[in-house]
Amino acid sequence: MSKPFASVWLREPRKATSPGRSREEIVNAAVELLDEEGLNGLSMRKLGAKLSAGATSLYWYVANKDELLELAYDEVWGEMTISEPEVVGWRDAASTQAYSMRQAMLRHPWSADLLGRMPALGPNAIQVADRMRRMFKLAGFDGMDIDYAVGTLTAYVYGMTVPEIVWNAALSEHEYDPDEMRKLVATAVRDFPGMLERMNTDIYQDPQAVRAVAFDFGLVSVLDGLERRLVT
């Protein structure tokens, strides 16, 4: 027997039962806790303690932890900048969307673990999706090609950003010596002169700069490719 689909966004929110407490307050506290401790650090008990409230009282607003995560997840989408494509043009709108999506994910690394398993049905997520569809329709895509273009852009952002989040998490847990790491990698690629030469360039002294340049390069390439499809 199939499991019925459920989402916190598919029912009316319950009103606060006491002055000074609201669903917005609970969600903001949840986002703070997630930023501090990640997905594994979020529990109704911890959230209740943070709000000086009993965990059971929180269940008036959300049925379970997944519903709470849905609400917190939509807050991340709400931080993304969504330009009016009719005003700035589709390419500028797409670039702004891509950069702001990357930055929102980096500010809230736990959100990367929700991709694909948490429905993005909140008002912020839907507004972003609608704006992205409008910008690709303005570009000249139609029918399912609009959806494919949206998927291409978001897949690029996710593909570049998720490994960065994972690597940042690894660095926060372990204090790696950059020079020692370079020596070990150089040993691993010693039989590949081209890779060894590239490793020794000055730009690799700043990994963050490398990632930023790589994101710029890839984004322009993706948009060029999408634009090229419109003239073929």
pLDDT at 183: 80
Q: Which residue has the tokens 């990357």?
A: 102
In whole angstroms, what is the distance from residue 114 CA to residue 74 CA?
11
Of the two residues 15 and 123, the one the predictor is more confident about is 123
Q: What is the pLDDT of residue 1?
A: 59
∠228-230-231 over CA atoms, to 5°?
75
Q: H-helix or E-strand containing 114? A: none
Q: How confident is the model at residue 180 (pLDDT cuts 50, 70, 90)?
A: confident
Domain segments of the chain: what residues? 8-76, 79-229
Domain 8-76's class?
A: mainly alpha
- Lowest mean per-residue pLDDT among 83-87, 109-113, 225-229: 83-87
Confidence of residue 2 (pLDDT cuts 50, 70, 90): low
What is the CATH architecture of 79-229?
A: Orthogonal Bundle (1.10)
Higher-pLDDT residue of 107 and 205 is 107
17's tokens: 């039962």
> Which residues does 193 contact at the CB level (< 8 Å), separation at least 6?
none
Cβ–Cβ < 8 Å for 27, 71: yes
**71: number of Cβ within 10 Å:** 21
